[in-house]
Chains A and B, each alone.
Chain A
């Protein structure tokens, strides 16, 4: 007996009265939804649609309509349409279901249950239009105390040497998205934006293409378990180095780059054969324990003459705080925590949706553990995974983060509509693809402006939020949980966050 087909996910309809048959939809859809008939009619194959909205955004007449799940199942609270379809698809394929972007399950969002504070009467709010407002952030090790002596002649002498730190003019950075997972034009746009906004971005595990060299002072180069693209030239070009142990979208497993996306240029940058799947090992095979990590951190520092900060990125898992405390005891300069909503180009769906913990809880427990152990100064804490707006940034910092990485938000500012089909290499926005005709749709000049606008606008909003809270320096927001309240959060979560409920 055949399993038959599953119903349509999306239905595309064209309002034929509105349509002027300009064929922009036909040209723009890389998934092949639209076909032009000989008589000039447009045929629609809705089954191929991914809801990427490229056709809709390009249609000059607003003639295209998209509806999600146009075919009903018998409703059932447990056996959702998605659960049923996954079973049907896996019965057919016998394989792991792949998915893109971040966790798509309906977990509560802690950010949306945290509210920020503002001043009234007893202290004045500060107006960032008229008063200085400092968002400058330094990432790296800080001494636990300074050795400062006052000499006989009254001169002050500083006897402590600072470790190298990254200087950012905003606590917002762009996370690691590799060349391969995204196109060179996409990476160029992000790099230009990072340079324009005086912040940093990550290379991901994809090497550093020579076209990015002009922006190398704003790049954090990644060393992951596949070691793709890593050589001394790569390490020396980065402003900082990041060892990727895990990522929030798929804790416990390595990166996946389908061979379809490994074109000649990607293969050269990654130093792998063209067309081959780049599947990074789940662990680093030279790191089976925390002391091995400490060795790699030291090794990378030694190779770059102790001039660059080294970050370590881990996925937010249950004992993230203890792992972070271990990392803080190595020579690492920052620990990056990636929450379970972190995006990805490709991940097994079962990992994306079920493994790891939310970033909000992870920041709070890591900051608390480091604080309890008196080693908070030894590492900066960078949070990522599902940060959608400036309020999420402010809340992350108030929970204890030094800075954040954004990924999906930066892609959305370049056109991405979060359709989640990045792993197929057909991204019609020219972002998650290597097909030349698609990549050329993305103009780095224009898109870098959009990404920079996003970072600038969030930075402005963050200044306003800080000013309203009577704070004129970002370090006074960091870990300042008394300026947060939890709304409809359970007692256990409030306890982990160390935040009082609203009204308390």
Chain B
């Protein structure tokens, strides 16, 4: 089931985490207290040029020294610390959440147009594909961070002191796990570089999508289908440079019957997308919100088997599983509406 919510302030005015915590807790009916998480953009202004690597360590001895070794080969650690937490009675601490602020040596990755990103992606894939046991990178973007754990939304938020962070984009997720309950890594949001994803649903095309991203140099390591969404966005957005509405079209394309009825130019475009990006099409029920530093996009599967509601208020755009969650966060919200199946809802930073 799962509950999701995302918000962007298009003027980049910051919000602290208290509102989204409350909104997410409202959707506890959709969760089971075994996973919740938050992603926030704009929270590390002091380190805005650094990749913020959030890592779960099982302990700070072996896994940490191995991670230190490998990341120091590829770049410079500007600052590192344990992510500040506060013990919660209902939350069992399974890992030590740590953060590095990291600057890659871009000259080490030759032949890449985006060497910094490619180094960080490589590090994430290498650490997570169990070459280093007891370490898991769960956030790797610039001036943003993911905070997640196994527990109810309010406990996870209080654990990470989420109210103390100020961001202009927030995503949050309340999990009802079936596959990997109690595993911190299995909680959402999933993140790679700038991309964060919250997802309600189950991707029936996972095997196909997984093979597609793997043939393009990604490795799926989280035992859950959501991570593939982050990799698809990175591949189609960063590497193929597709505009976000086209990425959504690739993942949740119109039906052939609809395409056949389109004007020639649009028909050719849609046909080209379906032929080229067939393996990126996501099937099965889902509602997804994806964020990067300059915007968020929400969309559902092609027959809308999961709910998605949109609300606007001034410079703020809300996308959520439930209207009530949006109203909790912003009682003055206007223009509540429900987007059609597969229809992208995009909120972009305008400054």
Contacts and interface: CB of A to CB of B under 8 A. Distances in A.
A27 B214 CA distance: 62
B210 A146 contact: no
A443 B255 CA distance: 38
A478 B243 contact: no
B202 A122 contact: yes
Interface string B190-206: 00000000000110111
A17 interface: no
Given A145-B240, A480-B205, A371 B278 contact: no
Contacts of B303: 126, 131-132, 472
B305 interface: yes
B281 interface: yes
Given A123-B285, A146-B242, A162-B271, A470 B204 contact: yes
B205 A476 contact: yes
Contact of B255 (A134, A143, A146, A482): A134
Interface string B240-255: 1111001000000001
A160 B277 CA distance: 13
B273 interface: yes
Given A123-B202, A374-B216, A479 B243 contact: no
B243 A148 contact: yes
Contact of A156 (B201, B216, B269, B278): B269
B348 to A, nearest CB: 12
A145 to B, nearest CB: 4
A146 B277 CA distance: 9
A162 B256 CA distance: 17
Nearest to A117: B204
B210 A482 contact: yes
A142 to B, nearest CB: 5
B45 interface: no
B206 to A, nearest CB: 6
A148 B242 contact: yes
Given A156-B269, A372-B215, A123 B305 contact: yes
B279 interface: yes
B205 A376 contact: no
B203 to A, nearest CB: 9
A483 interface: yes
Given A158-B272, A470-B204, A476 B255 contact: no
B268 interface: yes
> Which label, helix, strand, loop or mixed, suits the secondary structure of the A interface?
loop
A480 B243 contact: no
Contact of A146 (B215, B216, B240): B240
A165 B283 contact: no
Contacts of A122: 178, 202
B284 interface: yes
A346 B206 CA distance: 43
Contacts of A483: 204, 207
Nearest to B271: A162
Nearest to A140: B275
A20 to B, nearest CB: 56
Centre residue among B211, B243, B256, B285 by max chain A CB count within 10 A: B211
Contacts of B246: 146, 148, 156
Contacts of A476: 204-205, 208, 281-283
Contacts of B240: 145-146
A482 B278 contact: no
Interface string A102-138: 0000000000000000010011101000011010101
B114 to A, nearest CB: 15
A471 B276 contact: no
Max count, chain A CB within 10 A of own CB: residue among B205, B268, B284, B285: B205
Interface in A435-491: 469-473, 475-483
B305 A480 contact: no
Contact of A475 (B202, B216, B271, B278): B278
A158 B266 CA distance: 10
Contact of A477 (B208, B243, B269, B272): B208
B105 to A, nearest CB: 27
Contact of B275 (A124, A165, A398, A482): A165
A479 B279 contact: yes
A95 interface: no
Interface of A: 119, 122-124, 126, 131-132, 134, 136, 138, 142-146, 148, 150, 156, 158, 160, 162, 165, 371-372, 374, 376-377, 398, 469-473, 475-483
Interface of B: 178, 201-202, 204-208, 210-211, 214-216, 239-243, 246, 255-257, 268-269, 271-279, 281-285, 302-303, 305
7 nearest CB pairs, A to B: A482-B207, A476-B205, A475-B278, A476-B283, A480-B207, A470-B204, A123-B202
